[in-house]
A and B are shown apart, each in its own frame.
Chain A
Amino acid sequence: MSQQRIPAWITVGVIPLANILIAAIAAGLVFLYLNINPIDALQSMVSGAFGSGYGLGYTLYYMTSYIFTALAVAVAFKCGMFNIGGEGQAYIGALGVGLVCLGLGGHVPFIVLLPISIIAAAVFGALWALIPAALQAYRGSHIVITTIMFNFIAASLMNYLLVYFLKPVGTMSVESAVFDRASWIPQMHEVFAFFGIRIAASPLNLSIFWALFVAFAVWVFLWRTRWGYEIRSVGSNTSAARYGGISISRVTILTMLVAGALAGFMALNVVQGQAHQIKLNLVNQMGFTGIAVALMGRNHPFGIVLASLMFGFLTQGGSELQFEYSVDARIVVVLQGLVILFSGALQHMMKHPIERLYLNYARRRDANADDQHPAEA
């Protein structure tokens, strides 16, 4: 008998779906406890997230942010590092984007400004990741600890800058001036309107295309370039990488620079695409949620795009729930938590039974096939 293998569609299709199904059942129990019919709740989540142009716009807007922050986790993970600093890296990336928009907005055409703000997002995010990276590479300080600390430093730094430098004189709220319109990344309803099509207004903007492109580029980078090869080598087997002439510290730094840049891109969506000003706490936990998205997307760019859509749905559908049933806003966090629990922490719970089920099925199928061709020997 030939050795049976588990086909890919089971690993990347059936098992994650089974995990989500269990999470949904668990969520259903929570709704029952809250005296909400789970089917109704699901319906209102789905219609809230996908049922209208407005809702869909928000879902995809959240998805865009999650793609960036999750990629920032995944790239580091491929090198064997746990980057918990997406929150801070995105926040500092926002500073870069904001400075470019505040300084150049209205003075240069958008087509010139956009590449500069993209570079600024990347450079500011990357620099914020550089210090923890260098500390790990040359001093052995653990990246988990340093990136967490850098989130707090970033928050304090932004607080300080907003209060003392960026806040226009005479305003009460802690936020920068609104950027010049000419620096805004066009929102999707504006783009459609330009072509004469009317869709509902939502914060969804052109950044989503950049996110999808970047996800593809990350895949190429990791699996088709020698730098990606080195990153994956270090992540899989450090001593083999060293044997292969790969400098561990150099790769550590390169990886974190890329991760920081990816997190920084999140600011394009949130700051240049939606808020149009630097605000306090603008990352709003999306850097942390990116960890969960990366986990669920199995640290693969294509998986992350799908997982980001899922989390976009949870975020938008969850706020719809809050609207409709006036449940606590943190229901979104509960739902995300359940998804993380079952497809992250317990992701192997369903693996074994499903694989065994498949193997039994395959064995029986092979046995039947053998019965029909007994001459083959």
Chain B
Amino acid sequence: MDMALELRGIDKRFGDVHANKDINLQVRQGTIHGIVGENGAGKSTLMSIIYGFYAADKGDVLVDGQVLDIKDSKTAINAGIGMVHQHFMLIQNFTALENVILGAEDGIAIETSLDKARREMERLASEYQLNVPLDVPVEELSVGYQQRIEILKALYRGARILILDEPTGVLTPQETDHLFKVLASLKEQGTTVILITHKLREIMAATDEVSVMRRGEMVAHVKTADTNQEDLAELMVGRKVLLRVEKGEAEPGDVKLAARHISLTDAQGVKRLSDVSLDVRAGEIVGIAGVSGNGQSELLEALAGIRNIDSGEMYLNGETVTAGTAIDPEKVRQLGVGHIPEDRHRMGLINTFSAYEAFVLGYHRDASYNSGVLMSQKAMIDDCRAKMESWDVRPPDPFLKTANFSGGNQQKLVIAREVEQGHDVMLIGQPTRGVDIGAIESIHKRILEMRDAGKAILLVSVELDEIRSLADRILVMFDGIIVGEVPADKADERTLGLMMANIVPDEIKALQAEVSA
């Protein structure tokens, strides 16, 4: 079989970072080829070289057997390479059709381009199940549709090699399934697909062959049929990893955290939470599942005192807070409620601070870190160093700028800071977002240890696998409401996926009726 794309000895450095070391890759014509690797393994750099964003220091890119000098993305597009980025590159107030022709207009009259594009879109839609409302502004469409538009954009430009970078991060399981069907029919028609992801399950489900990257090197090429998730994880990390942590039965105690009919409207006047109620007991993990942007962030921030609720009541470790009560994150912490925020860069850490400074954020007024008017450098640094040791933060250097730690180590810093305060209740958002597989394992273990130590834990995550492996009960959110509750043992992918799209399966309805009766 012919090679659609071949890389020979690609080498790329950024200053002292050796992002790609002598990479060789062969992608067969008409296959779906997966590329896996941890964050920072060099996948994105490699794809940027193929798409002409960066020039390789050494090595050749061959398209259809011909060496191609890719100077910019235009060369790549003309050679039939299309790219669907992780963050969509769409103009929000343009329609699908307008986005598709953007930069590929023919002639000066826009109408002729639009007509031609419409005919082409209709053909592609029927051929690959890529239906999209063509005349609605993109901002009104779901992310699933937006992604299809990105794919259509690439196909419209004649892509025969389609690269998708982490395409499923924002999709529901059903949308993901649909995407994989689309990819399969593209493959049947002879398109070559390169799928970059860190989700091993998707590699197993969608690809024919898979290449594994680790620390800038290609460490393995295998046929998907000849491998499994555990082996791939080991290849990615370089050691054996547990994909699912062992977990005993929960022993729930008293209610430590509760919300009663809370509603919240954001600064733009959009209703983010409507009539949300939940209970979290000591010694259990309650998971909140949902496609990102359905009110989970607002729920977490309301409970943490960062946002004010419009109505309703919250119960925070013994203290009742009603709408209108003055509450702030400091007070919530003093009540014994810790918060690991969803986005460590935006909220959990201050990138310009040294590790020891970021490590006291939220606790910087504590007597233990202050002596008189001055902060005690020694107390802060000693404390940070000690916790870095016990949480295995690498490098264990309190003076290193927070920005210079890897994602996993940054996350450990945040988790260590909040957990070591000994709070009774923990609000945890996306604990392993952008964290390497090896670190995920240890973070999951720590969360379970907290549960077993009798903490009440509310866990928000968009990773269904994470929710399913950690939570004892799962609440599903959609558009600011709680759609329903699923016990962990009933939580299969299909059920959760339907509920994330606001469809409650009958058996879950029956279960809920039983509980409330």
Q: B-contacting residues of A (Cβ < 8 Å)? A: 1, 3-4, 220, 224-226, 229-230, 232-233, 236-237, 239-247, 359
- Inter-subunit contact B330/A243 (CB<8 Å): no
Q: Give me 4 other A-B pairs in contact (C-beta within 8 A), A229-B360, A240-B350, A243-B347 excluded.
A: A1-B16, A236-B353, A237-B349, A243-B341
User: Which listed residue, A1, A3, A224, A242, touches B377 by the CB 8 Å rule?
Assistant: A224
CB 8 Å contact bits of B335-378 with A (1 = contact, 0 = none): 00001010000111111110001001110110001100111010
The reply on B329 being an interface residue by CB < 8 A is yes
Q: How far is the CA of A244 from the CA of B346 in the complex (A)?
A: 12
Q: Are B375 and A226 in contact (CB under 8 A)?
A: yes
Q: Which residue of A lies closest to B343 (CB)?
A: A239
Report whether B16 and A244 are in contact in the complex, using a CB–CB cutoff of 8 Å.
no
Known: A226-B370, A229-B375. A244 touches B328 (CB 8 A): no
CA A3 to CA B16, docked complex, whole Å: 6
Q: For the complex, give the distance between the alpha carbons of A335 and B367 in Å.
A: 50
Chain B residues with CB under 8 Å of A237's CB are 346-347, 349-352
Contacting residues of chain B (1-49) with chain A, CB-CB under 8 angstroms: 15-17
Binding site for A on B (CB under 8 A): 15-17, 304-306, 328-331, 333, 339, 341, 346-353, 357, 360-362, 364-365, 369-370, 373-375, 377
Determine whether the beta carbon of B364 is less than 8 Å from that of A240: no
State the majority secondary structure of interface residues on A: helix
| Cβ contact within 8 Å between A243 and B16 | no
Cα A4 to Cα B17 with chains together (Å): 10
Decide if A240 touches B349 in the complex (CB within 8 Å): yes
- Most B CB within 10 A of own CB, among A224, A232, A236: A236
Are B16 and A224 interface neighbours, CB within 8 A?
no
Q: How far apart sit A5 and B348, CA to CA, in the bound complex (Å)?
A: 26
A226 CB contact (under 8 Å) in B15, B339, B365:
B365
Minimal Cβ-Cβ distance residue in A for B333: A245
* Number of interchain pairs (Cβ within 8 Å): 73
Contact partners of B353 in chain A: CB under 8 A: 232-233, 236
Contacts of B362 in A (CB 8 A): 243-245
- Neighbouring B residues of A225 by C-beta, 8 Å: 373-375
Which residue of A4, A230, A243 has the most chain B CB atoms within 10 A of its CB atom? A243
Nearest residue, chain A, Cβ from B374: A224
List the B side residues contacting A240 at CB < 8 Å.
346-350, 361
* Bound form: Cα–Cα A246–B329 in Å: 8
* Residues B375 and A243 in contact, CB atoms below 8 Å apart: no
16 A-B pairs within 8 Å (CB atoms) are namely A3-B16, A224-B374, A224-B375, A226-B365, A226-B375, A229-B357, A229-B364, A229-B375, A232-B352, A236-B351, A239-B346, A240-B350, A243-B362, A244-B329, A244-B364, A245-B331
How far is B241's CA from A297's CA once the two chains are assembled, in angstroms?
50
B16 touches A359 (CB 8 A): yes
B350 x A233 contact (CB < 8 A): yes
Q: Which of A230, A236, A240, A242 has the most CB of B within 10 A?
A: A240
Return B398 CB to nearest CB of chain A, in Å. Answer: 15
| Bound Cα distance A243, B429 (Å) | 13
Residues of B with C-beta under 8 A to A230:
364
Q: Please, how many angstroms separate the alpha-carbon atoms of A189 and B374 in the complex?
A: 37
Give the distance to chain A from B246, nearest Cβ to Cβ, in Å: 32
A233 to B365, CA, bound (A): 13
Closest B residue to A2 by beta carbon equals: B16
> Chain B residues near A236 (CB, 8 Å)?
350-353
A245: chain B residues within 8 A (beta carbon): 305, 328-331, 333, 362
Cα-based distance from A247 to B346 in the complex (angstroms): 17
Contacts of B349 in A (CB 8 A): 237, 240
- Give the chain B neighbours of A226 by CB distance below 8 A: 364-365, 369-370, 375
Instruction: Determine the distance from Cα of A323 to Cα of B264 in the docked complex, in whole angstroms.
Output: 69
From A3, A230, A246, A359, name the one whose CB has the most chain B CB atoms within 10 angstroms: A246
CA distance A98 to B341 in the complex (A): 52
Give the chain B neighbours of A4 by CB distance below 8 A. 16
Q: How far is the CA of A216 from the CA of B305 in the complex (A)?
A: 37
Rounded to whole Å, the gap between the CB of A64 and the closest CB of chain B is 26
Shortest Cβ distance from residue B304 to the other chain A in the assembled complex, whole angstroms: 8
In the complex, what residue of chain A is closest to B331 when comparing beta carbons?
A245
Q: Which are the 3 A-B pairs with shortest beta-carbon distances?
A: A245-B330, A245-B329, A244-B362
Across the two chains, which residue of chain B brings its CB closest to A230?
B364
Q: Is the CB of B329 within 8 A of A242?
A: yes
